[in-house]
């Protein structure tokens, strides 16, 4: 069934190219809704056993070198796949009237994007993973480049090249791992590491880790590799921004959790202080830059840099709570930032401007839109009972257990996020309305189509904030396993005769491992 969910979008892409242009959006909407409904069927079996892979298909694809079509779904990837299938119909709805030219290609590319992204989340073969990683790049490149705003071409090319540079380094690392282990199969590589059959010396592990890490860090994006993101977001059409922020950035954070931690436990722990440092800089820096943005979309884009800093902080705390929070925060960010981009897009369709100074006091004209925007804003700043609160709290709590100063600095980001978001709300919706602005918004409150697109997201914000355990439990089980795998390899290294050159780092890793173990027991 996972095969079906994975390959239906590819078929949908080809079919979308065949239907007449004016029917393309209807086709795309129905198709993506059907896919969403089918994908809901994935939830049950994974929840029954979230620590192991469900829906596994494992057949040879290419014989030399041995590349397998190996896919599976566990608690870590489940919600990300569902998020993707859930957001695609909403993204199509939001584009309904906005996209006026070359509609056929537009909807086809949105569906192709779904194919690439789902593939990334379900691949269990490193090579297959790389293939999907790159495939997702192409439709997004076209979405930004053809249907974007004025500087779209610059943004599209920058987006493509940044990701490409990172990913070729990852390809080198993948091939190197293959030459060492004789397989691309991720599960087999982990088994070999667990059994001690595959040993990476620290001199090997560090460059390999960095090769993977840089590819993911660009995608996340982690400060200082984030500069492509504001450009891409601002120039992309609304649906492009939504998909980019909500699911494509998660390809990076997902990669960190899925691959970096278990494959290179020692290197990851050695680099963790530096990475956490960058994450905290990203949190504060992103928030400060968002504070001074005159452009709404850019503001939301920089808030993404800040929010994803939390995710990276959580991942590299090597702590169950923080990791759970980080993975949960991936979903939260997908929901609330996706909603923010949609709302900004709706504002743009009315006022044809993204500059904050062109707005002001529109709440009187469009009260429903203003209310929805306020709820989304509050979710984004982490108000309790809404989704982001849960994730941020877990990350901060987990990080504090490892190092209290990390949590302190990161908390500054939470405060700042309230500043920039509420200030944005104030400048856009409150205050006096200029005649010009009022004219654009008069009688232009949310239409039925827009309600349909935004309501599911609002519902999720509340649901994920009030009853997080339903989502968190499978994540937690999968995280626990990831941490175990990661820890197992560290312990192997420690029991092995330690090379005299690295006494300090070995000591730290033991300490970190013990902390993590302590937290596990505490839970």
- Which residues contact other proteins by CB under 8 A? 62-65, 102, 105, 130-132, 134-135, 137-138, 141-142, 145-146, 152-153, 156-157, 160-161, 164-165, 168-169, 171-172, 175-176, 178-179
Token reading at 4: 């079906």
- Least Cβ distance, residue 35 to other proteins (angstroms): 20
User: For other proteins, which is the closer residue by CB, 58 or 134?
Assistant: 134
433-to-113, 256, 344, 345, 374 alpha-carbon distances in Å: 40, 46, 18, 20, 18
**Residue 415, burial from CB neighbour count under 10 angstroms (0-12, 13-18, 19+):** exposed
User: For other proteins, which is the closer residue by CB, 164 or 496?
Assistant: 164
- Least Cβ distance, residue 253 to other proteins (angstroms): 22
Which of 310, 328, 355, 295 minimizes the C-alpha distance to 463? 328
User: For other proteins, which is the closer residue by CB, 145 or 338?
Assistant: 145
User: For other proteins, which is the closer residue by CB, 8 or 402?
Assistant: 8
- Least Cβ distance, residue 226 to other proteins (angstroms): 18
In angstroms, the CA 243 to CA 237 distance is: 10
The DSSP result for 406-466, as a single string, is HHHHHHHHHHHHHHHHHHHHHHHHSSPPPHHHHHHHTT----HHHHHHHHHHHHHHHHHHH
In angstroms, the CA 306 to CA 338 distance is: 15
In angstroms, the CA 263 to CA 193 distance is: 8
Q: Quick check: 260 and 174 in contact, CB under 8 A?
A: no
User: For other proteins, which is the closer residue by CB, 204 or 445?
Assistant: 204
* CA dihedral for 2, 116, 64, 194, sign (positive or negative): negative
- Least Cβ distance, residue 63 to other proteins (angstroms): 5
Which of 345, 205, 359 minimizes the C-alpha distance to 268? 205
User: For other proteins, which is the closer residue by CB, 152 or 233?
Assistant: 152
In angstroms, the CA 255 to CA 170 distance is: 11
Q: Return the exposure string of 66-84: e unless at least 16 CB atoms fall within 10 Å of the residue's CB, then b.
A: bbbbbbbbbbbbbbbbbbb
User: For other proteins, which is the closer residue by CB, 130 or 259?
Assistant: 130
The DSSP result for 319-350, as a single string, is -HHHHHHHHHHHHHHHHHHHHHHHHHHHHHHH
In angstroms, the CA 354 to CA 358 distance is: 8
Q: Which uninterrupted H or E stretch holds 28?
A: helix 24-40
- Least Cβ distance, residue 162 to other proteins (angstroms): 9
User: For other proteins, which is the closer residue by CB, 145 or 391?
Assistant: 145
- Least Cβ distance, residue 20 to other proteins (angstroms): 14
- Least Cβ distance, residue 132 to other proteins (angstroms): 8
Longest dimension (CA), the chain: 76
- Least Cβ distance, residue 38 to other proteins (angstroms): 24
User: For other proteins, which is the closer residue by CB, 120 or 379?
Assistant: 120
- Least Cβ distance, residue 315 to other proteins (angstroms): 26
The DSSP result for 93-123, as a single string, is HHTTTT--S-HHHHHHHHHHHHHHHHHHHHB
- Least Cβ distance, residue 423 to other proteins (angstroms): 35
- Least Cβ distance, residue 137 to other proteins (angstroms): 7
- Least Cβ distance, residue 218 to other proteins (angstroms): 12
User: For other proteins, which is the closer residue by CB, 17 or 374?
Assistant: 17
Length in residues, the chain = 523
Q: Which residue has the tokens 């590799």?
A: 225
Which pairs count as long-range contacts for 463-467, CB under 8 Å and 24+ apart, including other chains?
Answer: 463/387, 464/328, 464/331, 464/332, 464/335, 464/387, 464/390, 465/379, 465/384, 465/385, 465/386, 465/387, 465/388, 465/389, 465/390, 466/385
User: For other proteins, which is the closer residue by CB, 65 or 507?
Assistant: 65
* CA dihedral for 50, 312, 382, 453, sign (positive or negative): negative
User: For other proteins, which is the closer residue by CB, 146 or 301?
Assistant: 146
- Least Cβ distance, residue 94 to other proteins (angstroms): 22
- Phi, psi for 372 (deg, rounded to 5): -60, -45
User: For other proteins, which is the closer residue by CB, 210 or 281?
Assistant: 210
């Amino acid at each position: 069934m996972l095969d079906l969910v994975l390959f239906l979008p590819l078929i949908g892409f080809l079919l979308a190219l065949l239907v007449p242009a004016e029917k393309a959006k209807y086709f795309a909407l129905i198709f993506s809704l059907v896919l969403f409904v089918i994908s809901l069927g994935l939830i049950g079996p994974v929840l029954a056993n979230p620590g192991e892979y469900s829906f596994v298909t494992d057949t040879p694809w290419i014989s030399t070198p041995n590349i397998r079509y190996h896919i599976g779904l566990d608690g870590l990837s489940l919600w990300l796949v569902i998020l993707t299938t859930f957001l695609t119909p909403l993204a199509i709805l939001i584009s309904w009237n906005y996209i006026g030219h070359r509609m056929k290609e537009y909807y086809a590319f949105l569906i192709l994007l779904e194919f690439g992204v789902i593939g990334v989340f379900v691949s269990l073969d490193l090579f297959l993973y790389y293939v999907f990683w790159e495939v997702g790049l192409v439709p997004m490149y076209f979405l930004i480049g053809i249907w974007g705003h004025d500087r779209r071409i610059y943004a599209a090319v920058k987006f493509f090249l940044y990701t490409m540079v990172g990913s070729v380094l990852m390809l080198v690392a993948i091939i190197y791992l293959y030459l060492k282990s004789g397989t691309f199969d991720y599960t087999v590589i982990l088994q070999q590491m667990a059994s001690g059959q595959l040993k990476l010396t620290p001199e090997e592990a560090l460059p390999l880790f960095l090769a993977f890490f840089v590819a993911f860090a660009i995608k996340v994006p982690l400060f200082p590799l984030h500069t492509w993101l504001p450009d891409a977001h601002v120039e992309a059409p609304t649906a492009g921004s939504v998909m980019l922020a909500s699911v494509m950035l998660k390809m990076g954070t997902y990669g960190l959790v899925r691959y970096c931690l278990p494959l290179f436990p020692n290197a990851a722990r050695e680099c963790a202080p530096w990475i956490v440092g960058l994450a905290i800089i990203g949190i504060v820096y992103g928030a400060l830059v968002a504070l001074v943005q005159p452009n709404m979309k850019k503001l939301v884009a920089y808030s993404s840099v800040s929010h994803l800093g939390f995710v990276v902080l959580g991942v590299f705390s090597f702590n169950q709570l923080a990791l759970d929070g980080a993975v949960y925060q991936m979903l939260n960010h997908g929901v609330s930032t996706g909603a923010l981009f949609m709302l900004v897009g709706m504002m743009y369709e009315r006022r044809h401007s993204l500059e904050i100074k062109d707005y002001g006091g529109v709440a009187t004209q469009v009260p429903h839109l203003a209310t929805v925007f306020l709820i989304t804003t509050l979710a984004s700043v982490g108000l309790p009972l809404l989704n982001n609160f849960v994730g941020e709290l877990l990350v901060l709590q987990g990080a504090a257990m490892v190092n209290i100063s990390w949590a302190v600095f990161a908390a500054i980001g939470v405060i700042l996020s309230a500043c920039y978001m509420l200030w944005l709300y104030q400048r856009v919706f409150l205050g006096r309305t200029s005649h010009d602005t009022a004219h654009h918004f008069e009688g232009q409150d949310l239409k039925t189509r827009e309600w349909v697109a935004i309501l599911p997201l609002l519902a999720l914000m509340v649901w994920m904030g009030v009853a997080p355990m339903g989502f968190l439990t499978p994540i937690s089980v999968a995280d626990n396993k990831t941490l175990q795998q990661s820890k197992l390899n560290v312990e192997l290294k420690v029991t092995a005769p330690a090379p005299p050159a690295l006494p300090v780092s070995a000591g730290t890793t033991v300490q970190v491992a013990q902390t993590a173990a302590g937290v596990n027991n505490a839970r």
